[in-house]
Structure 1
Amino acid sequence: MSAVSFSSVSKVFNTPKGPFQALDDVTLTIEEGEFFGLLGPNGAGKTTLISILAGLARASSGSVSVLGSDVQTQFAAARRQLGVVPQELVFDPFFNVRETLRLQSGYFGVKNNDAWIDELLENLGLADKAGANMRQLSGGMKRRVLVAQALVHKPPIIVLDEPTAGVDVELRQTLWQFVARLNKQGHTVLLTTHYLEEAEALCTRLAMLKRGRVVALARTSELLGAASANVLRFKTDDALPPQLAAQARVTGRVAQLPAQDAQEIEQHLSQLRAAGVRVEDVEIRKADLEDVFLNVMAQAAGEGAP
């Protein structure tokens, strides 16, 4: 049985400018025990898909099931299997951290849950904040509580929607260590993130969305294996020649050029020398998931994805 199944899911929103199609015939399956990544630019439909999974939105067509339970017709059974960490910081200002987690346990009918709550507080760096009112916490601490709330009923499926957006490095490391441990214990994890290095390190399989459509779906290793073998990276204050500029990824002074082999690297360097481009800090690295992602998005745009 699949952990999560999306079957021909489409979603159309009515807006003042007319219908807007947020999802277009999305079909994908997440197996039990997988660490699955859902990637895409802003507006690609990731959060809409998760909202439909969590029962916060209704699909215009298609169906979604969680461990065999349809999210619409068997909503109670489906939602008990999910622990969702939303993008937004949502909290009740009238309770402290421990009270918040006890209340969340009660939503799922879980009693005498203090031992697991203590473990969550310890693993998420919240033990010294257990008695603090939610209003007193920093944004990063509030995000930790959201993660704890999602896990408090020990759901078999954990959904993380941009869980590390705007948080410090310490929380990112703490969170991923804990979630990776839960995944090894058998929990299924669905992650959306703009930190592609996280997805590359954690996810065994990935789906990429662009404007509501799945444009790539494969194992992470397969996507990386299909990428250019190398990337030439350097810094410069000069403009690149047009032929190289068309394929370069430039961030401030840093330029990166894809290269299949050593011969192509030498060709790039020769063109830079011929154009009088002064370079420094030259290095050659393997292609990473960010390179793959940008290439997939460019190909999807070229093929006329809406």
Structure 2
Amino acid sequence: MRYPHLQLSANPHDRTAVRRGDEEWLERRWADPRSRVLVVSGTRVRPRDGRVEWISPAEAPEGVRVLLGEHDGRAWFAVVTDVSLAQGGDPAEWTPLRGLLPGLLDDAAPAAPLVFHALGLAEWLFATRFCPRCGEPLQPRSSGHELACDNGHTQFPRTDPAVIMVVTHGEPGAEDERCLLGRQAVWPAGRYSTLAGFCEPGETLEDAVRREVLEEVGVQVGEVEYFGNQPWPLPASLMIGFIGRALTTDVRVDEREIEDARWFTRAEMKAQAEAGTLALPGGVSISRSLVEHWYGGPLPGHW
């Protein structure tokens, strides 16, 4: 089956990292009217008709010029300005990445990886102003992919690995096999999702799965199988999907991150999703792909 989250990773661009310091090449591409630019104010963009708007370099404002790479025979850039551009106009016109996700699935739109690349870097540039080693101001270089201070300390964009897992119990494929989903207290009634959490220093991804499940719902996990991954720059994560096999089934939620967690058979999941009493994650997320992979096909309804 085709997994929904792969739509946001399809058709990636050539990042042309070797060109990030090639000023002559960069100026030629910037002067080319076929090149496209995404304007980012702080960490927000201004879409047009629900789609991300790409403009020519001649139309772009001043800001940090970021080389994204090459795609479809042209160069792609982002210009990261400060937040004043968005603040000076109608704030409702400027949208964070989460609000852009539906438009990124449009076949007529440029590849979503270009937008993920641009906004992931914009978030890092916005949040990283001073050197963590000496406190001196940081300045961008290498087409926005490095930050350096006057003392010679260099910072690079960070990506935080996060595990996300569907936990199962029972004979795989059996009628009584169950999967475990949880919910947070702030979510609307009926909304459930896979469990997730960040990997800690010195920890394997598989052990992060076991630790997070035990901490959040009190269930012990044994075998952990890799499923897939999804860039998720909200603000700087890589979601790494797993299938975990439960060794225990008693649920004890931590009541801090997780308000409730429940086991679902396939029949229960289908019936409740069709009735609208169970709302599963949206199709663009790897969480949805994990659930439908375990279920064996598409399910109705989503957040």
Q: TM-score, normalised by structure 1?
A: 0.25
Of structures 1 and 2, the one with the larger relative CO (CA 8 A, separation 6+) is 1
Q: TM-score, normalised by structure 2?
A: 0.25
